[in-house]
Amino acid sequence: MTDILSQDEIDQLLNAISSGEVQAEELSPQAEQKKVKIYDFKRPDKFSKDQIRTVQMMHETFARLTTTALSAKLRAMVQVHVTSVDQLTYEEFIRSIPNPTTLALINMDPLKGSSILEIDPAITFTIIDRLFGGAGEHYKLSRELTDIELSVVEGIVVHILGNLREAWSTVIDLRPRLGTIETNPQFAQIVPPNEMVMLITLETKISESEGMMNLCIPYITIEPIIQKLSAQYWFSSIRRGESEVNKKIIQGRLEQVQVNISVEVGSADLSFNEILNLEKGEVIKLSKMKINDDFIFKVGERPKYKCRPGRVGSHIAVQIGEDIEEIPDEFLTTSRSREEY
């Protein structure tokens, strides 16, 4: 409950303030300075730190896939890794890239809108030189692409977009498609200049040539799935996806495994001395075997079916019968230990 001052106390405070003995700020209960967070309304933060971390992890997968794909395509040592994930305005992104450069406009179906994959000219001309049979040396060229070079770059971008789809598969079934390739950033206005975008910067090294690849994704494009860009959702999606994918992969591989099978006709107990004295032509009498008894069909070392002997053409064969319900060894071991206990 707030204390109420009497008139005498009020007069004493007013006299103290007028004489300078007490500062007016000291009388306020809100005297402690509050921490103020600066907020720029021209550049509002649209992405949380958790969402930025999730996007970075997704594109680290994209970088690894692109490294493998380009290494195989160019037959050269390629290194791609994520250096930063930032949010900025589209105008700032356009001003930060050279002119001319390679700008691939990408349709982010089923999401509405487009994104941009910008490839540094040094990387572009190194890829072109490598594919045309050159050594892939570092070139500092500043010109637009010819029609033939443009066709080659389109093939590389389409190849890279397959890796982008796989990296985003844990969040959405993204089907990125290449629209057009521009060289002048002023002709690639996919959103208003003050619109916020997420910029994923990937440092790329091909042999001795180094440069940057930038993936620019506007906020309005990924706004419908912004809630899915969390570490918790991403990891849970990975576990769900891996369980189904791994199940199919394991099943497919198991179907190709070669397994030894055998048929047990019967059994007999022999001493070690009798085994040493066995000679060619001797007959071993099997215990408790009759002409109508079933044989045991084994998969590996485990009995699986009962079977009957026969012949198919000139080959000896067996006919599979009913299953044998066998108790696994681990259950037998457990039951014995319980009985002993």
CATH number for the domain harbouring residue 229: 3.40.1550.10
pTM (whole model) above 0.75: no
Q: Does residue 222 sit in the same domain as residue 299?
A: no
pLDDT tens for 296-305 read 888 888 888 8
Query: Residue 14 domain-assigned?
Result: no
Distance, CA of 181 to CA of 161 (rounded, Å) = 14
42 φ, ψ to 5°?
-75, -25
- Range 224-243 average pLDDT: 67
pLDDT tens for 247-279 read 777 777 788 888 888 888 777 888 888 888 888
Return mean pLDDT, the chain: 80
User: What does the pLDDT read at residue 163?
Assistant: 92
Q: Does residue 95 sit in the same domain as residue 224?
A: yes
Q: Does residue 179 sit in the same domain as residue 311?
A: no
Closest CA to 99 of 184, 211, 210, 182: 184
- Range 32-58 average pLDDT: 73
Expressed as residue numbers, the domain containing 155 is 49-235
User: What does the pLDDT read at residue 341?
Assistant: 37
Buried b (16+ CB within 10 A) or exposed e, 304-332: ebbbeeeeeeeeeebeeeeeeeeeeeeee
Query: Residue 15 domain-assigned?
Result: no
- If 0-12 CB within 10 Å is exposed, 13-18 middle and 19+ buried, where does residue 189 land? exposed
User: What does the pLDDT read at residue 188?
Assistant: 86
